[in-house]
Chains A and B, each alone.
Chain A
């Protein structure tokens, strides 16, 4: 069964510095990867979706996927205090009826 692990568990970064979050998965046939953000008491907001190896940028958010290494990362450029939230990595397969397997999340805090 697919396992998705995120690191670090929590991360504190100064405003303006790059924030980097990691996600590893166990099934190399996975082909859909998304990063979500969850502010407390709010729903999940999708940040970046990536389906092939390489890089995908959405505004200040960039995802890097390396399926050979079973690794997908999220980099946040010039983070602001409003980016403080829990970031969730989600992995699925195209045949799997929208069933997402989530990592346990990284709690990101941005210091002013």
Chain B
């Protein structure tokens, strides 16, 4: 049963536009993540937040910025999208962010940049 909700499911846009993806979890978890899955299905972490604080910030272009209003929400904004940003963006959450914990994933937002 889904407990991590992402919107939109799909988004098509043009180079240079700004996009924003939303993620909400109803599990009461403290930690949320954004992962990027490329066309070869490889998943890489982008960011993690614990209770609205940035914990992990992998080397991603500065046009990507996460935004957290509370621990249940973690949005992702991309200013001025590039063709290489075409991917599936997966949001996840875990209880406290400990390495032993299971991550619960949303269904993803597929971004296509024309």
Contacts and interface: CB of A to CB of B under 8 A. Distances in A.
Interface residues of A, number: 27
Given A97-B55, A97-B99, A99-B48, A42 B43 contact: no
Contacts of A92: 99
B21 interface: no
Given A43-B2, A98-B33, A88 B98 contact: no
Contact of A94 (B42, B100, B105): B100
Interface string A5-21: 00000000000000000
Interface in B71-109: 90, 92, 94, 97-103, 105-108
Contact of B107 (A42, A90, A97, A102): A42
Contacts of B2: 43
Interface in A21-58: 31-32, 34, 36, 38, 41-44, 46, 49, 51
A44 B105 CA distance: 6
B40 to A, nearest CB: 6
Contacts of A97: 31, 48, 50, 55-56, 97-99
A95 B99 contact: yes
A57 B33 CA distance: 28
Contacts of B103: 44, 46, 98, 100
Interface string A84-112: 00101010111111111010110000000
Interface of A: 31-32, 34, 36, 38, 41-44, 46, 49, 51, 86, 88, 90, 92-100, 102, 104-105
A-B CB proximity, top 7 nearest: A94-B99, A102-B43, A44-B105, A105-B41, A43-B107, A43-B105, A96-B99
16 contacts: A31-B99, A41-B107, A41-B108, A49-B102, A94-B100, A97-B48, A97-B98, A97-B99, A98-B97, A98-B98, A99-B56, A102-B42, A102-B44, A104-B40, A104-B41, A105-B42
Interface of B: 2, 4, 9, 31, 33, 35, 40-45, 48, 50, 55-56, 90, 92, 94, 97-103, 105-108
